[in-house]
Amino acid sequence: MNGYAPIDTLRIGLVGSGFIANFHLQALVAVRHVAVTGVFSPTTAHREALAAKANALELGPCRPFASLEAMLISGDVDAVWIGVPNFARLDTMREIHRLVRSGWTKLIGVACEKPLGRTLSEAREMLRLATDAALLHGYLENQVFSSAVQRGKDIVWRRAVPICGRPYLARAAEEHSGPHMPWFWQAQRQGGGVLSDMTCHSVEVGRFLLSRPGAPRSDLKLVSASATVGNLKWTRPEYVTRLKNMMGADVDYARRPAEDFARGALTFRTGEGHEVMVEATNSWAYVGAGLRILIELLGPEYSMEFSSLNTGLKVFLSRDVAGGQGQDLVEKQNAEQGLMPVVENEPDIYGYVGEDRHMVEAFRHRRQPLETFEDGVAVAEMLMALYRSAETGRVVDLPDTELETYVPPVARA
């Protein structure tokens, strides 16, 4: 249809070798027509370990590269997945743009983890660079591609909406006991606190569920944002000390905290002139079995609900079963004893399998994915509007030109 034959096997290069890169490896095992052929990370031991894991999973042949340039000019990769920390994403995209525009690499696509940028201006620059380099671009928002979300949306819009009308409220929450790496806790490097880190998931999955299947993003027009943020747990003296012990002296929530709780409401207007809303609640202050994702969709005569911890499999371990800390039952696991839910296939339930499968197929057929950098820009606009509402204590009406250069208070130098 676009003049290109499908690529038999899409060769992916991973940029970054941390937690999220390992999640993608687990997901890609379930994806056809793909190979992970390269890894770049500035830490030698990390990139070598990830490449070895890719080969052990029979996703290769994969080799580590000492620089992003070396990986891209090797001729071994067709597309890259950007999984470096937030503060390094724009520089990574600039290097990709330079190498593509110079003709040193024949890269066809780039996919980037959430959020696309720490600010709206960073996100817009990511999109500009990808567009200027004529690259296909995918925004890696995994919750949109969760099988539960995809299936639930299909049923609601196919069976209920034609009879009763479109849904009007999406609620989404994601909570756990705190990030696993120091930079997540540092607002200048991450872009904020939990609102930046986790509300980006909730607002986008909510918008996706409210949007008519196959409709452009303009199907819903953002008209207002309202938010509240708080420091509920990690600024308490005992937890300030605990956080320093876990993450190092540079993470000092007595001096430089970022919000560990956020609640936001976004109002959209449909093409028919009706108002619909996304309500998001996120925290780093939830202590339970582990990572908890709650998603609801409400309409005139129907509702949909998903909870990541309502699993069919549970394990009970008595107090006599002692062991070290782990995350083998659920991400951000908070206990090693008692009655615990087991998330049997986290990459699938959280949406990474569906996300990677979709991105691979889109790039193989040389078409833009369902979620692109344009969606990442729209998410950044929603987040900045929520931060500005929390800072000013008022509802922010959209469009708002001040968001173009806005930086959340906690992330300012």
Question: For the structural domain made of 10-142+354-371, what CATH number should be given?
Answer: 3.40.50.720
**251 has which bridge partners?**
none
What pTM, to 2 d.p., does this model score? 0.94
Residues 301 and 279: beta-carbon distance below 8 Å: no
Pairing label, strands 220-230, 396-397: antiparallel
For residue 330, the model assigns a pLDDT of 60
Q: What is the mean pLDDT of each run of 10 residues along the chain (413 residues)?
A: 84 96 96 98 97 98 98 98 97 98 97 98 98 98 96 97 97 94 96 98 98 93 98 97 96 97 98 96 90 95 94 79 68 70 82 97 97 98 98 97 97 88
Identical fold at 10-142+354-371 and 144-345+379-411?
A: no
CATH superfamily of this structure's domain 144-345+379-411: Dihydrodipicolinate Reductase; domain 2 (3.30.360.10)
Domain ranges of the chain: 10-142+354-371, 144-345+379-411
Which tokens sit at 366? Answer: 């040389």
Q: Give the strand pairing for 261-270 and 10-15.
A: unpaired
Instruction: Write down the pLDDT at residue 289.
Output: 79
Query: Quick one: pLDDT at residue 327?
Result: 66
pLDDT at 341: 78
Which residues, at least 6 apart from 370, have a Cβ–Cβ distance to it below 8 Å?
144, 358, 362
